[in-house]
């Protein structure tokens, strides 16, 4: 026997390794609404199989825990069983020799404490508190519940106009969303179980760019009801669109000169070309929405007056004010907020950064927008400073990579401490304290802590602060609208408690969030305002003949991602940076859809909501 040899995995190990990968994707595609005890038991059995078998708590204890949980699920348990599970899990957490044991038991412990009511329901009533309510994962996870399998099948059939019509049943911003939606629909795509999530957003991008001008349907006969919509962003305009279709008259008050909200004044043009945004807005306005721009309700018109004049009011004012970072030197000349800068650009007043050295503070998507915008405004250098690691940034990883490719320096683990300026008050440098990543905090994210390193100076002329936005709700609060830390206190059905005819939604209620959530809020508000006014108008799907699903799933196949144009081409202008799919690509991508509306739970319950 040789003294040493290189280990090579045998065939079984190789196969198991690939099964781990399959399992990872499978867990990512877990459907909503599963029995929490049952799925925990499944995890526990997997954990137990990882046990080496040396130590008793892990070797025996995890197995006994699994038996006890099986008793819970099989009507063999009493309430004492739950206590026994808790005690056993605690002991394993305390005494297992390695993480295989104590982390496994900790999962059980978190469950028995976190969803004890479900354990109790199983014991006392032999049933589960959970229930599968929406079987199609993409539809369930889209806040507006767009019929994703429906429009994908229409794109596959080449019926792009129909695809746009179908999307509009739930979302009047198909074009804008095709460019900027964060596509939560893809997160649990069942195709993950085969290879990778379907590029839903990319398919939509193809549909909308191939069916740009799709007229809306005629409005229902006028009801004579008038609804004021305060804020002309995606939420407000979505609400206006559906209310118009229902036959109500909506009047939008927008404080800026143009409609679109953050879509126009927050999102840079290279991500959402202006004509694309205008396309959606034109369709919405063609339903007869009355628009008053450059009017700030609460300042130019008292909110009370609006409340009195209209049958209902929808407050959808967004989150447009900047937040201060609170470090010395913040008032120096050359310090701007990202919100303010992007708004100026949206209004046609871009600052000139030619030759300037720019620092951007923050790690979110707005920070990346500011970074990449600064590059396009001619900055000599852009350094993006963030106090945690790149992994911890909330910006989409794609955005971070593209910003870096365009020439930005991403500088993680640097906490800004002060801004230095020269004698005439202009910014001269951003001083940062290097950080090291530390223990995981209560929110589950690792916290940065000060590193034992000296402060660092980043010489610069401009500092852009992108650390979040606030809500300008004070005028409404003063008029009696309930708020909680500046957020308007609205219920999930958009009613504002204490203000009978006032509804609210969007960023102003949730805090800064995604476009599609604001659209969903507008849709929800439209439905509830309609009922509040004493009607029950139903919004139907225009397209009823959804193509049949194929009988066999497409074999495992790579996901087509939209290509970004070369960074050197992009960084000099504000043109669209994405290259759409080709027809071949979109056909291949659309055929990857597993049609969860037809297969599995979909054809039993709720595979398709044809109306709302």
Partner 1 sequence: MVNVTINGIAVRVPEGTTIMEAAAKAGITIPSLCYLKEINEIGACRVCCVEIEGESRLVSSCNNLVYEGMVVYTNSPRARQARRINVELLLSQHDSTCATCVRSGNCKLQHVANDLGILRNPYPQDLPKGLWTTTFPLFRDPKKCIKCMRCVQYCEKIQSLGIWEMTGSGSRATIDVTYNRRIKEADCALCGQCITHCPVGALRERDDTSEVLDALADPDKITVVQIAPAVRAAWGESLGLPRELATVRRLAAALRSMGFDYIFDTTFSADLTIMEEAAEFLKRFSSGELNEYPMFTSCCPGWVRFLKSQYPQLVPYLSTAKSPQQMFGAVTKSYFAEQLGVSPDKICCVSIMPCLAKKAEKNGHMYVKQTNSIQDVDIALTTREMDRLIRSENINVSSLPEAEFDSPLGVGSGAGVIFGATGGVMEAALRTAYHSVTGTNPSPDAFRTVRGQEGWREAEFNMNGVVVRCAVASGLANARHLIEAVLAGQVHYDFVEIMACPGGCVGGGGQPIPFEQTEQAEIRGELLYKLDRLSPLRYSHENPEIKTLYHEYLGEPLSERAEELLHTDHNSWTMPLSLRLQMQNTEDTTIHFGET
Note whether 540 binds partner 1 by CB under 8 A.
Answer: yes
Rounded-to-integer distance, Cα 238 and Cα 315, Å: 12
Asked whether the beta carbons of 64 and 84 are under 8 A apart, the reply is: no
Note whether 126 binds partner 1 by CB under 8 A.
Answer: yes
Among 493, 548, 569, 579, binds partner 1 (CB under 8 A): 548
Q: What's the min distance (Å) between Cβ of 194 and partner 1? A: 12
Residues 160-199 that bind partner 1 (CB under 8 A): 162, 165-166, 168-169
Among 217, 440, 449, 556, binds partner 1 (CB under 8 A): 217
Q: What's the min distance (Å) between Cβ of 17 and partner 1? A: 25
Rounded-to-integer distance, Cα 530 and Cα 217, Å: 18
For residue 291, the cross-strand partners are 252
Residues 458-497 that bind partner 1 (CB under 8 A): none
Q: Using CB under 8 A, which of the segments 125-133, 271-279, 280-288, 560-568 binds partner 1?
A: 125-133
Q: What's the min distance (Å) between Cβ of 462 and partner 1? A: 48
Asked whether the beta carbons of 104 and 58 are under 8 A apart, the reply is: yes
Note whether 42 binds partner 1 by CB under 8 A.
Answer: yes
Note whether 332 binds partner 1 by CB under 8 A.
Answer: no
Note whether 100 binds partner 1 by CB under 8 A.
Answer: no
Note whether 39 binds partner 1 by CB under 8 A.
Answer: yes
Between the alpha carbon of residue 511 and those of residues 174, 436, 488, the distances in Å are 23, 29, 9
Among 60, 107, 128, 451, binds partner 1 (CB under 8 A): 128
Note whether 158 binds partner 1 by CB under 8 A.
Answer: no
Q: What's the min distance (Å) between Cβ of 291 and partner 1? A: 22
Among 130, 209, 510, 561, binds partner 1 (CB under 8 A): 130
Token pair 């206190």: residue: 489
Among 184, 247, 475, 580, binds partner 1 (CB under 8 A): 247
Sign of CA dihedral 272, 278, 283, 288: positive
**Main-chain dihedrals φ then ψ at residue 249, nearest 5 degrees:** -105, 125
Rounded-to-integer distance, Cα 574 and Cα 264, Å: 13
Q: What's the min distance (Å) between Cβ of 108 and partner 1? A: 17
Note whether 222 binds partner 1 by CB under 8 A.
Answer: no
Q: Using CB under 8 A, which of the segments 8-16, 141-149, 535-543, 581-589 binds partner 1?
A: 535-543
Q: What's the min distance (Å) between Cβ of 554 and partner 1? A: 10
Q: Using CB under 8 A, which of the segments 13-21, 294-302, 383-391, 603-611 binds partner 1?
A: 603-611
Among residues 317, 172, 344, the alpha carbon closest in space to that of 253 is found at: 317
Asked whether the beta carbons of 229 and 206 are under 8 A apart, the reply is: no
For residue 465, the cross-strand partners are 337, 361
Q: Using CB under 8 A, which of the segments 143-151, 474-482, 494-502, 529-537 binds partner 1?
A: 529-537
State the DSSP string of 179-242: HH---GGGTT-GGGGTSS---HHHHHHHHHHH----PPPPPPPP---EEEEE--SHHHHHHHHH
Q: Using CB under 8 A, which of the segments 194-202, 259-267, 269-277, 544-552 binds partner 1?
A: 544-552
Note whether 4 binds partner 1 by CB under 8 A.
Answer: no
Closer CB to partner 1, 130 or 394, in the complex: 130
State the DSSP string of 550-569: PSSPPPS-PPPPPEEPPHHH
Closer CB to partner 1, 128 or 567, in the complex: 128
Q: Copy the structure tokens of residue 157.
A: 């059939």
Rounded-to-integer distance, Cα 320 and Cα 146, Å: 27
Nearby residues of 147 by Cβ (< 8 Å), 6 or more positions away: 139, 166, 167, 169, 170, 541, 597, 608, 609
Among 197, 335, 382, 543, binds partner 1 (CB under 8 A): 543
Closer CB to partner 1, 161 or 369, in the complex: 161
Among residues 301, 265, 258, 300, the alpha carbon closest in space to that of 281 is found at: 258
Token pair 């867990």: residue: 27
Among 541, 546, 581, 593, binds partner 1 (CB under 8 A): 541
Sign of CA dihedral 207, 213, 216, 218: negative
Among 603, 606, 608, 609, binds partner 1 (CB under 8 A): 603
Among residues 498, 510, 449, the alpha carbon closest in space to that of 143 is found at: 510
Asked whether the beta carbons of 104 and 92 are under 8 A apart, the reply is: yes
Note whether 207 binds partner 1 by CB under 8 A.
Answer: no
- Number of residues forming the site for partner 1 (CB under 8 A): 49
Rounded-to-integer distance, Cα 465 and Cα 453, Å: 24
Closer CB to partner 1, 350 or 553, in the complex: 553
Closer CB to partner 1, 484 or 531, in the complex: 531
Residues 397-456 that bind partner 1 (CB under 8 A): none
Note whether 539 binds partner 1 by CB under 8 A.
Answer: yes
Q: Using CB under 8 A, which of the segments 77-85, 183-191, 505-513, 548-556 binds partner 1?
A: 548-556
Among 350, 475, 553, 606, binds partner 1 (CB under 8 A): 553
**Main-chain dihedrals φ then ψ at residue 502, nearest 5 degrees:** -105, 130
Query: Which positions touch partner 1 (CB under 8 A)?
Result: 33-35, 38-39, 42, 73-75, 121, 125-132, 162, 165-166, 168-169, 215-218, 220, 245-247, 535-543, 548, 551-553, 555, 603-605, 611
């Amino acid at each position: 026997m040789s003294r040493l040899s290189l280990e090579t995995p045998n065939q079984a190990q190789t196969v198991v390794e690939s099964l781990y990968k399959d399992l990872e994707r499978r867990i990512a595609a877990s459907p909503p609404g599963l029995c929490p005890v049952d799925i925990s038991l499944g995890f526990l059995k997997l954990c137990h199989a990882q046990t080496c078998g040396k130590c008793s708590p892990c070797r025996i204890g995890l197995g006994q825990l699994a038996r006890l949980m099986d008793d819970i699920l099989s009507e063999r348990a009493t309430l004492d069983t739950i206590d026994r599970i808790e005690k056993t899990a605690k002991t394993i957490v305390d005494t297992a020799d390695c993480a295989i044991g104590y982390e496994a038991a900790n999962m059980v412990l978190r469950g028995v404490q976190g969803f004890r009511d479900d354990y109790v329901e199983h014991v006392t009533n032999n049933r589960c508190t959970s229930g599968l309510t929406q079987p199609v994962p993409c539809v369930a996870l889209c806040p507006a519940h767009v019929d994703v399998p429906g429009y994908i099948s229409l794109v596959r059939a080449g019926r792009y106009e129909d695809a746009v019509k179908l999307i509009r049943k739930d979302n009047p911003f198909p074009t804008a969303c095709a460019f900027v939606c964060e596509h939560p629909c893809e997160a649990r795509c069942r195709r993950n179980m085969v290879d990778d999530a379907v590029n839903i957003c990319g398919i939509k991008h193809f549909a909308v760019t191939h069916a740009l001008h799709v007229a809306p349907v005629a409005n229902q006969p006028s009801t004579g009801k008038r609804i004021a919509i305060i804020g002309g962003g995606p939420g407000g305009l979505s609400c206006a669109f559906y209310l118009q279709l229902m036959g109500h008259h909506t009047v939008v008050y927008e404080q800026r000169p143009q409609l679109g909200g953050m879509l126009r004044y927050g999102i840079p043009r290279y991500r959402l070309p202006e004509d694309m945004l205008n396309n959606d807005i034109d369709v919405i306005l063609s339903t007869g929405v009355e628009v008053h721009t450059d009017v700030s309700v609460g300042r130019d018109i008292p909110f009370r007056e609006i409340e009195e004049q209209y049958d209902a009011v929808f407050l959808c004012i967004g989150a447009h004010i900047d937040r201060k970072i609170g470090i010395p030197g913040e008032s120096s000349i050359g310090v701007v907020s990202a919100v303010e800068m992007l708004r100026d650009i949206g209004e046609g007043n871009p600052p000139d950064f030619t030759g300037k050295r720019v620092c951007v503070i923050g790690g979110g998507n707005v920070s990346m927008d500011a970074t990449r915008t600064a590059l396009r405004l001619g900055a000599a250098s852009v350094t993006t400073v963030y106090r945690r690691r790149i992994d911890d940034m909330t910006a989409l990883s794609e955005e971070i990579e593209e910003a870096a490719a365009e020439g930005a320096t991403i500088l993680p683990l640097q906490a800004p401490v002060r801004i230095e300026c020269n004698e005439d008050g202009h910014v001269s440098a951003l001083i940062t304290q290097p950080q090291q990543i530390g223990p995981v905090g209560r929110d589950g994210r690792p916290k940065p802590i000060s590193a034992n390193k000296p402060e660092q100076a980043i010489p610069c002329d401009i500092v852009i602060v992108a650390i979040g936005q606030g809500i300008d709700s004070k005028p409404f609060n003063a008029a009696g609208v309930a708020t909680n830390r500046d957020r308007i206190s609205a219920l999930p059905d958009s009613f504002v408690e204490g203000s009978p005819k006032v509804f609210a939604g969007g960023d102003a209620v949730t805090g800064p969030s995604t476009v599609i959530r604001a659209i969903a809020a507008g849709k929800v508000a439209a439905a509830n305002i309609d009922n509040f006014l004493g009607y029950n108008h139903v919004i139907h799907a225009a397209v009823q003949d959804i193509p049949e699903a194929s009988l066999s799933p497409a074999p495992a196949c790579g996901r087509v991602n939209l290509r970004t144009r070369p960074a050197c081409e992009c960084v000099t202008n504000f043109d669209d940076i994405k290259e759409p799919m080709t027809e071949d690509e979109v056909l291949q991508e659309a055929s990857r859809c597993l049609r969860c509306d037809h297969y599995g739970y979909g054809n039993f319950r709720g595979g398709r909501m044809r109306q709302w």
